[in-house]
Amino acid sequence: MRRQVPLLLTAIVGFVYIIQFFVPHKPFNIIEHLFTDWILIIAACAIWLGVLNLLKLSSEKVYKRAKDWPYALVIICGFFMITVAGFFFSGGRAFQESGTAFDYIYVNIFTPLSATMFALLAFFVASASYRAFRARTFEATLLLLAGFFVMLGRVPVGDLMTSWLPQGYRLSDLAGWIMMVPNMAGQRAIMIGIALGIMSTSLRVILGIERTITGGE
Amino acid sequence: MKFFEKLMSIDRRVIFLFVGVALIVPLFLDIEQTIEITPEVQTLYDAFMELPPGSKVLMAFDYDPPSAPELQPQAITGLRLCFDRNLKVIIIGLWPMGPMQANLALETVFSEENYFDKEPIYGVDYVNLGYSPGNELVIQRMGSSIPATFPRDFRGTSIEEIPLMRGIVNFSNFDYVFNLSAGYPGTVEWVQFAVDRFHARMGAANTAVQAPLVYPYIGTGQLTGLSGGMKGAAEFEKLTGFIGKGTKFMLSQSFAHMIVVFFIIIGNLAYFVTRGREEKKTG
Amino acid sequence: MDSVFSHTIAAILTIGIISFLYKDNPLYKFCESLFIGVSAGYWFVQQYYANLLPKLFDNLGITKLVGAENAPEGALQALFLEGRLDDNLLYLIAGVLGVMMLLRLSPKIGWIARWPLAFTVGSSAGLYFITYFQSNAMSQLEHTILPLNSFNNLVLIVGTVTGIIYFYFSKEHKGVFGGAAKVGIYFLMITFGASFGYTVMSRMSLLIGRIDFLFGTWLGLVK
């Protein structure tokens, strides 16, 4: 029950999705639609699971007065603030409409917090460029030069610096060439490599060779 | 030599300060910059311009607030272009925050003077169908039935009551798909399903982080146009003639890139000087 | 509510996060915790309205059962009021699978969550097997077969082929094969460099957005 059922489920669902690609007609399209809805419901429950787990851990921290427990309380309060607003003060299904309590929290609390959290990376990218971006080897030099030219070539100042060169030979043209030729070649190789990897892993999962999801080796 | 050793161990907060100043100061400067148009953005613009009035454009907002500085200007420009050319816009999102970002973009567009007397009508000229969970599975299902995938719009109105949605069954009813993407699910999935499986014609606006990854799709023709990051936004704005934040922020962007390049040069200089000294010492 | 008040809240939270650059501090920790809590709540509400309500509760008729206005009739109403088996009754299975997923919280029967997990893994495997083959493998290979009539085409072909050779680890990278793999590394390095350049562009753009909010939207200093 613990091992066989998950393997069987994986195989059945996997084959249904493969077959419906080639035969998008009854009954496979109907089964696929149904399975898709089921997966979405499972995915929603998985997200709820994560959220409930977070609440459980935070509550335990507050209850035990563990280190930094006031911040765990902030997590709980933040959660209830938006959930109560979303469920009870935002008009039900139209909860995301402009002007609802949910939208207010989204615009004035969620947006600045999430946007600034990611914006901080700008500082760390600059710091990392200074400390770790070294032309130690030929490969590292290639990486550095490509980054260097793309960075300058993709902003107007790059063209300003090379305005004395004829059109077609300026930094923006060089950056464009890097993106459209060597970068595209490299990305293509990566893309094909990943595709082959995903295909082989998918096949292993569907055929039950890959068993880590069932808790096996 | 001591100077370079000190430079190697500089406090990171000094670097942070330089970055901050490099980004803030240009916001107060008024220097005109020449924005060169890349072929990818030109193709995107041309794809919009080739559409006859009344064509239906599906705009997929697959991003969240952190990516908004890059993608919101492109969304606003895309919407303006569509409304100005009388193209019908159908908005959806594979990211839950996407349709909310779309509403913010619409608010910005409609707050402009041009739209005071001829504001596009909701349900007739544009509609926001909201978010549907399921990532790429949503695109797959849209290929067979859009009404089944989005039975209600963002406001909870049944799709049957929306005039613009009459006769729209699947991708064959859209003349162009414009995807604004910040990651997964996004442009890669739209190409895999909407373009390759259901033969939609599609262009994309991506965050700069994601743009290099989708360049191979331009080479194959799977993508008809690509606008990457703030620079892409500035180019798109220049082509359409609607000058917005993409153009406004280009000066700060230039300064930011220069400061990073400056740090790379200084860092390498200090590294090579101090390494040479160490090699001499060890003999 | 007054926009000045709203913008001030947003600005305080923005500054709170930025304050981490100086050093870790209570204001940053508060903002970080608030972000975690609000994000969790956001997803909780979002998944309910976007997913569970229309797909599970509406289809089964639970929404109607609890007395919600304008709720559609579902499978349970069909079964108990009309005495017929509705197709939507199959959504009960999804409900059970969802509950199984939530049982992961219980250490004793947490293993049951592997069933719904297997369901989702199977779907991804089946879906990706075909799409990656079509869009990312075949389509890219097809467009790499180019006429050798220009320098760019030559670079594109050499870069793609040697890049793929580098990813082939079943044969030792020696001799001609090793040389080709080495060229592949050079192309990959240029690719990573280009990606780095674009990453810098992206991160700086995000920061410019926040600075514009502080100095423009909030303080009104930037037009």
d(CA C164, CA C141): 11
d(CA C180, CA C184): 6
Q: Provide the 10 A C-beta neighbour count for residue C154.
A: 13
Residue (of C220, C205, C153, C223) closest to C8 by Cα position? C220
| C54, C198, C212 ranked by CB distance to B208: nearest | C198
- Asked if B214 contacts A183 with a C-beta cutoff of 8 angstroms, the reply is no
Taking CB atoms and an 8 Å limit, are C156 and A184 in contact across chains? yes
pLDDT at A215: 64
Cβ pairs A/B, distance under 8 A: 145
Taking CB atoms and an 8 Å limit, are A182 and C207 in contact across chains? no
CATH tag, B35-246: 3.40.50
Mean pLDDT of A85-113: 90
Summarize pLDDT for A169-185 with one digit per residue, the tens: 999 999 999 999 999 99
pLDDT at A1: 67
Q: In chain A, what residues touch B254 (CB-CB under 8 Å)?
A: 155-157
Phi/psi-derived region of residue C80, left when phi > 0, alpha when psi is between -120 and 50, beta in every other case: alpha
d(CA C38, CA C17): 15
d(CA B225, CA B236): 11
Give the residue from chain C lying closest to A96, CA to CA. C46
Taking CB atoms and an 8 Å limit, are B219 and C208 in contact across chains? no
> What share of chain B in percent tops pLDDT 90?
73
- Measured in whole angstroms, the distance separating CA A163 from the mean position of its chain's CA atoms is 39
d(CA B229, CA B246): 9
Summarize pLDDT for C39-89 with one digit per residue, the tens: 999 999 999 998 899 889 988 988 888 877 777 788 888 888 888 888 889
d(CA C22, CA C5): 26
Domain boundaries in chain C? 148-223
Mean pLDDT of A5-17: 92
Answer whether residue A217 shows pLDDT above 60.
no
d(CA B86, CA C157): 43
Summarize pLDDT for B72-111 with one digit per residue, the tens: 999 999 999 999 999 999 999 999 999 989 999 999 999 8
Q: Provide the 10 A C-beta neighbour count for residue B116.
A: 9
Strands B176-181 and B126-131: unpaired
**Which of B30-44, B177-191, C60-74 has the largest mean confidence?**
B177-191
Taking CB atoms and an 8 Å limit, are C143 and B27 in contact across chains? no
Mean pLDDT of A18-26: 88
Mean pLDDT of A43-61: 95
d(CA A154, CA C81): 66
pLDDT at C66: 81
Mutation test of the interface with chain B: which of A154, A159, A184, choosing the one with the most B Cβ atoms within 10 A? A154
Phi/psi-derived region of residue C178, left when phi > 0, alpha when psi is between -120 and 50, beta in every other case: alpha
d(CA A4, CA A213): 11
Bridge partners of B92, per DSSP, are B60
Bridge partners of B226, per DSSP, are B204
Answer whether residue C147 shows pLDDT above 80.
yes
Taking CB atoms and an 8 Å limit, are B254 and A159 in contact across chains? no
Q: If pLDDT is split at 50, 70 and 90, which confidence band does A25 have?
A: confident
Answer whether residue B114 shows pLDDT above 90.
no
Residue (of B256, C74, C54) closest to A158 by Cα position? B256
Same domain, A21 and A107: yes
- Asked if B231 contacts B211 with a C-beta cutoff of 8 angstroms, the reply is no
Same domain, A190 and A157: yes
**Both structure tokens of C140:** 């890219």
Q: If pLDDT is split at 50, 70 and 90, which confidence band does B117 have?
A: low
> What share of chain B in percent tops pLDDT 70?
98
Taking CB atoms and an 8 Å limit, are C206 and B211 in contact across chains? no
| B212, B260, B268 ranked by CB distance to A126: nearest | B260
Q: In chain C, what residues touch B24 (CB-CB under 8 Å)?
A: 211, 215
Same domain, A74 and A156: no
Interface of C with B in 23-82 (CB under 8 A): 42-43, 46-47, 50-51, 54
Q: Apex CA A15: angle with CA A12 and CA A18, to 5°?
A: 155
Phi/psi-derived region of residue C69, left when phi > 0, alpha when psi is between -120 and 50, beta in every other case: beta
Taking CB atoms and an 8 Å limit, are C17 and A120 in contact across chains? yes
Domain enclosing residue A80, as ranges: 4-122+208-214
Q: In chain A, what residues touch B279 (CB-CB under 8 Å)?
A: none
d(CA B278, CA B282): 6
A157 touches chain B (CB under 8 A): yes
Mean pLDDT of B180-189: 95
Residue (of A155, A163, A153, A162) closest to A183 by Cα position? A153
pLDDT at B116: 63
> What share of chain A in percent tops pLDDT 90?
71
* Residue type for position B206: N
Mean pLDDT of A30-37: 89
Same domain, A69 and A20: yes
A99 Cα to chain B: minimum distance (Å): 11
**Which of A22-31, B138-147, C211-220 has the largest mean confidence?**
C211-220
Taking CB atoms and an 8 Å limit, are B267 and A133 in contact across chains? yes
Strand, helix or coil at B128?
strand
d(CA A179, CA A216): 43
Strand, helix or coil at B203?
strand
Which of the other chains make 3 or more beta carbon contacts under 8 angstroms with chain B? A, C
Summarize pLDDT for A146-160 with one digit per residue, the tens: 999 999 999 999 888
φ/ψ of A189, rounded to 5, equals -60, -45
Q: Which are the contacts of B101, defined by CB distance < 8 A and separation ≥ 6? A: B61, B63, B64, B65, B68, B71, B72, B75, B93
User: The whole model's pTM is what?
Assistant: 0.91
pLDDT at B13: 92
Interface of C with A in 70-89 (CB under 8 A): none
Query: Using omega within 30 degrees of 0 as the cis cutoff, is the peptide bond preceding B185 cis?
Result: yes
Same domain, A87 and A137: no
- Asked if B100 contacts B65 with a C-beta cutoff of 8 angstroms, the reply is no
Q: If pLDDT is split at 50, 70 and 90, which confidence band does B141 have?
A: confident
| B66, B69, B231 ranked by CB distance to A114: nearest | B66
Answer whether residue C1 shows pLDDT above 60.
no
pLDDT at A211: 80
Q: In chain A, what residues touch B212 (CB-CB under 8 Å)?
A: 179, 183, 187
**Both structure tokens of A207:** 């055929």
